[in-house]
Structure 1
């Protein structure tokens, strides 16, 4: 066993030596640079990475770069070295000393040659050499790549620059720049619009923001900073490429609605790209054009809404009324939609109601406040002028008027759910009307005889007297309020004086508001108005009242409500039972009593008979 063990150990030593020999023959030094040729632009940076692997010794390797000119018959020119400051040849000494040519390390075994500004004479084959740190000279110690230096033909121009004058919030902004390249090598161009935003203290800082760009493959991408991506998806920001003059492509940035965050210094940046043999796109040239400063002024600082005339307007009934809403400082009139409303509050105050409105698309609609008898119009005149006209004013038109303007900055056709950028109201103008002196009295009567019975017709009379000058008409309303039953109201009242039953308008039209009974209203004489309830029932009991409103004519012959009204005192209606109902009670009671007595007698007779029959059967059994 001892001899066998020593033999096995010797065998494993032989195998280990063979594996190590094979590993040394496979793992050896290798230097890698990108495949070429590489096309770069004169005046712009060159960055050549170099990697060494499979080496022995220190993890931090040294790198030396040589340039082989195409016309130098293979002669090497020392460019830069990581270990020898005297390595560069005279052609590169000053450039290396100034840092224009240098080596930048990515790691111990990775470094890159950087030439900050390429020159035409820098064209040639660049060799990356790594001095040996290995115990055996094995593998490759250098690798080279051809660099072609092409002329700088990237041009970028602008059609106009920003003046720096303040622009109102919501205004449209359009900027354009042209870019072109004239290169024998196939390259692409990308264009980016950006801005340097405000630092917050009013001055322009270095808050760089990329607004939107069109890349080398013509894909449009919004900037990720700020709200540009959301605004791009909403269609507020766009970038378009067009064919320009002299073979230049024109790139147009549009911001349909400027926001306060858009204040800043704008620029346009063009970049030239080439596809390297490695399959990666490389930016080989870049040029920036300043487009000027932009200051966006808040809409609230510029918008002004006023009403003409101002103060107070006194009119006679029937006179026309004309009010004008003046709007200024809303930005470009062909870029922002306006919603204009006319509002009115009564002479005694109260809730403000809408009289009329003009939507952003010019459609006029009237509120519940305005009467159709007087007629009116709402019109848009010159830019910023919106008029409200009443052809014939009535006392109901009196009150404080003002206009409210909602601005949809940068939106020509806002959706109904779109919020307005800003809403501002004007000062009010008081409109008063001199009315006639009118007095009115209303008295309701209920005949006391014969007694009112259920199922009969109830008649109520409303006597109205009016004292004034000129022709008048009266509108009469009838109201009913139920009496309380067992401490609870039989029917909740719709008004302080109950619920309305019927109305006879000033022009003779009747309106019945059904309470379950058949009703009628009419005028039986000059000042007497009648309410009839046919086949009255228990629900028709309660307190009744009439209300009279006086209407008169304006100079044009139109009728209007003078506002004079009177309410009568309450009159109570009680319905008695009919004679047939009184006779029915004893009849029902008598029949019920007779049936009860008969049932009792039959039960007693049956009970006694059954007991007697039971006794007879028991005797027979005995």
Structure 2
């Protein structure tokens, strides 16, 4: 019973105390080998003020379940031996940030330091309540950062350009950013020249900011790894050692950026020899004392090097006032009253040469007396064409004295009030001394020259005693604050009451002496002045307002306090009003909360009514105003500012705000309690088949308050790099809203079922899933609480780990028989092509079957027939092909899985490799057909053969001699043909000798194609000349006879015929099956009239026998010749005149005879043929 009571008391105390929470730096942390790293750990939610102790351990990847102790804040024996030396050598140590926060330091990170680190805090309370340890992962990666630059020593001249290269690379697998900076080392100081930040932003160093803006300093990235620094127009300041620094940055899990590696390159020494760019200015003149009406000339002379290549502008200054400016283009700009004198030609400003600038005044006046000097400014032209001022030099001042006719006046200004406070009295006395007093009049002008060198007329006294107030002093003069009194004839007193800050400056009394000339006109003969400096100290010169707070951040329902310090403490005649202003949310307009007025009343603002019931404001004698706000909420979060105003009475006894100053703004943040929401972070993979249901869970593991309400949002991503889409949202009030999930509309909503089966568990069921539903699914939970103003606000949100859903099509089971075969057949046969489907995915599927053919020497396959899934026939791959194939193709489906395609009347063009390609289509849950698989059969090699070529042509060779003008016949005899319906194409050709060198030329005599179309040869001198002498006969189907009539010697040659056999295929197309040639027929043509003469003259014995034998035997010989002639004529008649050669008694005549010739023998007489 006593133990039960103790447990109840402990439980009660535990409920009343906070829950302990240990947190480590958000992981994973990716760090590079060899660098110093830290890991933060803090504990909260414990009771009391006891300093907390920390213990660090590691779980190595090789043994994730084994704890290895590293270091402890209170136990020196805590480290294991493997870490003992490193802890003792301070390579690993703990830095205490606060009593409940520490940093673990590892000075030289090693690869074996990678693992899961655990931070543990021993319990300091009487009971255990909460979490006492937290873990975080540390990933150690190799240091792959490299930065190199060639070390060198460069000597440059001022004005030169400098280019330096730095090569930076990395091979880090993680996503990191590079930052590259160039530095100039001058002694121990490293000056940044320019850098390219990790966000790819160029940032110049402070010393190079202006030169970078003018384009004289550049940093360019050339290629993938080179960074080029360019400095144009080097200056002596650039002398030193340049080096490049590369930093590799990585973004941690808490979105902060961390430098994991740094490299510096070798240094390049740059020496710069300066160029003398200094210049001096002198003012030259021909005198310093002038009388009114003289001509005055001043010259501003520049002494510099390379003046012609430099840009100078000259400013002429008279008594501190700019009177003219001669710019870089030598065009003068004249100011003030000198402009009118310039227009009248009484003054001249000009540039005489590159080094000399002229000021010339004609007819000088008394007012031209004063100090003259010139100020010369050199400008530098930038790369953009703009000019920037580089250096300014002034000449010495020359005092020019223009004397009147004669005047001996002297003026002295005295004052006892040269230093006064604002509101006091200023008094100045102007005393005039002169030896001459007869017939003269004085005019007095009091002027103020302020700190800006601006001259203002205060009051003047004319010759007749008339006073004239300056424009800016008329109001004050009318109220009596500004007065001019002539106490004595030669004493003029200026009194300024209630001095203002604007009255600070130099007070000048100018007295002019006037005399009357002979014409009765007053002429000024002299003017003299003196001055006194007065300083008016403003009341607000040390006026300051400062605001502070010790509670810049508070939790809902807590109190915060703001303080406003006003310094110095002003006298009672200068009251101070204080106003607190508030800017809600830190942006937008500001509103006045409350005001302590100068007459000690409190005025509340009208805009923020919620502050009146929870705000307390107090003001102390030391001008400290406190603003305290209780029960803080979001409405009180924002920016606060204290505004103080100084007041004083003017000469009309009216309160006037003298000065106003605002304090620094104070940002007050009112935040909700820390969110402790946790959701299930387990990653899941879910694989389902199409049309199944997908069940998704979202589990809340922890919540901040039992009164919290939750909104659950379900999202889906097609892939991790795609944007997410809202599927469904359950608001905190249980109202369900559907998102535009893939734009699927109302049908998608019907497939979703959302439920909350138990506290903290939300489920989503996706029914009838399809392939498009595959993706990454996760839930996002929002925790909502009531704020102090009874308004629901979102405290925080957490996202679960993704559930990877894969919706798969049914497995492809389509199979086609892969049988390979070779088929040979003659033309006009039937080709049977089978496509046998042995298996399919589903009996409800639809099939598309396509037959293709690969033909020899064709680069691509040709489609010959297709049966699509809708049972529509498609013939061929083109319209022309479809027409030729449609009548020859026959499709048949003899069984469930057997598809046959028949090709009739096969031709040789049908030879090739045939196969079928099958696609299987299924209907998905959205009633859309999709292709589930495809397969193809084995190759069927089809060879369609032509008929065997059997044609034969008679190849008998003959030698024929034909007399001139005779006829000869060329026969072409086809003795055998392949088929009875074949056709022939016949050509006659001849080889003939041309020219004196026996060059042989082939001529075509006549062509007859397979369609009996004639074509004659094209040679005009040969075959073309035979056209009218040819006669063709065809005694039989295989015999062609060509007769050449009226032969001449040009017809001699070797003749033959060429025969092509053509047959018709199954598509009624004719093609050449083969070809052959006949034997040669040698034709020789001889002239008949010259035969006897040639016989006699060509035989010496015969010639002497006829002409030189003794005459006694002439009679006998004559009778013998006559008898021989008679017999020869008879023989010639019998031979029908074919040989055309008379017969003689000859010795051993040469006979040419062919036993196969149909002609009689050809007797020819050769040399020596007669006895």
For the superposition of Structure 1 and Structure 2, which TM-score range results when normalised by the shorter chain?
Answer: 0.3 to 0.5
User: Quick check: which has more Rg, 1 or 2?
Assistant: 2
> TM-score scaled to structure 1, two decimals?
0.45
- Structure (1/2) with the larger helix percentage: 1
- Structure (1/2) with the larger strand percentage: 2
